[in-house]
Amino acid sequence: MAQPMSAMQPKTPLEMDLTCSVCQDIFRNPHLLPCGHTFCMECVTGMLNHVIQMGGFRCPDCRTYFGPLIKIQKNFALASIAENFREAQEKDESIAYCDCCAPGEQEVAVDTCLRCEVSMCNEHIKPHLVLPAFRGHPLTRAQGNAMERKCKKHKEYKRYSSASKEYVCNMCVVETIYTDNIAKMSSAMEKKITKTLLTKVHTSVSRLTGDDVLTLDPVSASLFLEVSADLLSVERRKEPLLLPPHPYRFDKVPQVLSAQCFATGNRHWEVEAEGYWDIAVTYSSIWRKDKGNSTFGFNNMSWSLTHHNKNLFVYHNGVKQELRKHLSNSKVAVTINHQDGIISFWDASILSDPLYTFHTKFTEPVCLGFGLYKAEPPTRISIQLSELQLKLPLIAPQLTLLPPPPSGILGSLTQSINQ
């Protein structure tokens, strides 16, 4: 069979006639000049752009001068011939020829040995098929155009991978492994940094705000109270929620406790309240199953500030006292001094003079309690975050269950609820 690819021998007369003298490639979209010479349209456009400042265009072959304007037309016949020739040439180049045949007598190759990196015809492939020395040499369909095995990115020849059963570029494999490792390392480092930052933020909040971060305990909330998802606000309902009974819940009065209890230090909180409400400081062991012993301020376990019809009252151990002061807005501050046994309620806008101060001696940890007594007009209370807590991410505290009321039936429930 004849010698193969045209790149290995001089151009034929036909190929020379179909070659553009400017780009030295087979014509693509050939256009005819008035002088009779033909060039690729892209080549003509390039030459026009180049010579426009020189005052006119000359034919690259015969040097005929055409001035600044030139009339050209597509050479349809030549375009068809050139396209057919190119397709035939590409088809011929897709045929692989035997590397073991003598020059000028090469037969068409049927297989390529990927280890030897040679293509062989039916005759020369036989040793690879029968000799033990070639056992294990991978054979694949012969590829005529070696450029098909060249990596377009790295310009190196691909090699056969027995694992993937395909040609692969070594540099591409290295880059892929490197990229994957970097991605895994970046992900692991991101998780580590995020964990470290969250730990630092949590430490900063705990250090700078003390233990004053306050949330509501939904378990203690009456069925007539609806606690928000962020545990920072509560609102009175007209109809009760449909929830199963719970020993920690206030059954007879619409009240709720904070999730945190405090036994030492000085505390300061601010809440925004509207409607008919109680804000109380109470022992966590307050009774929760009857109205008389459960209501804030009607026992010796709680101290409350009540707002009703714009009037303020304080209660403790069933003793009521009306205050002559009024709130300037809906924000109330509560402070506790554990060491001195002081509980003070304030207009949050006027912290120079408390609305009322209780003096006592604490015998148990205390928490904040809210009572919301009417749904109309709306009654709601929201815990206000401090300026620092607003600037830093709010990290939900671990809810500490309140010690059970002295009913004797709650001790066995603590572990299951914590879970």
* DSSP labels, 37-86: -EEEHHHHHHHHHHHGGGTSEE-TTT--EEES----EE-HHHHHHHHHHH
Helix (H, G, I), strand (E, B) or coil at 322: strand
CA atoms of 42 and 142, how far apart (whole Å): 35
Instruction: Tell me what the mean pLDDT of segment 69-88 comes to.
Output: 86
| Cβ 261 vs Cβ 355: under 8 Å | no
What is the dotted CATH code of the domain comprising 1-93? Answer: 3.30.40.10
May I ask the CATH class of domain 95-168? few secondary structures
Cα–Cα distances (Å) from 318 to 93, 295, 300, 315, in that order, read 105, 9, 8, 6
pTM above 0.75, yes or no: no
End-to-end Cα spacing for the chain: 84
What is the dotted CATH code of the domain comprising 218-393? Answer: 2.60.120.920
pLDDT digits (tens, 9 = 90+) for 13-51: 888 888 999 998 899 999 999 898 999 999 888 887 776
- The more confidently predicted of residues 218 and 171 is 218
pLDDT digits (tens, 9 = 90+) for 308-359: 989 999 999 999 999 999 999 999 999 999 999 999 999 998 888 999 999 9
CA atoms of 294 and 286, how far apart (whole Å): 6
Question: What pLDDT, on the 0 to 100 scale, is given for residue 217?
Answer: 93
Q: Point out the least confidently predicted range of 1-10, 17-26, 27-36, 223-232.
A: 1-10
| Cβ 200 vs Cβ 229: under 8 Å | no
Helix (H, G, I), strand (E, B) or coil at 236: strand
State the pLDDT confidence band at 200, using cuts at 50, 70 and 90. Answer: low
Q: Is the peptide bond before 103 cis (omega within 30 degrees of 0)?
A: no
| Beta strand ranges found along 250-355 (DSSP E) | 255-257, 266-274, 277-283, 302-308, 311-316, 319-323, 331-337, 342-347
Measured from the Cβ of residue 215, the count of other Cβ atoms closer than 10 Å reads 18
Which helix (H) or strand (E) element contains residue 161?
Answer: strand 159-161
Helix (H, G, I), strand (E, B) or coil at 120: strand
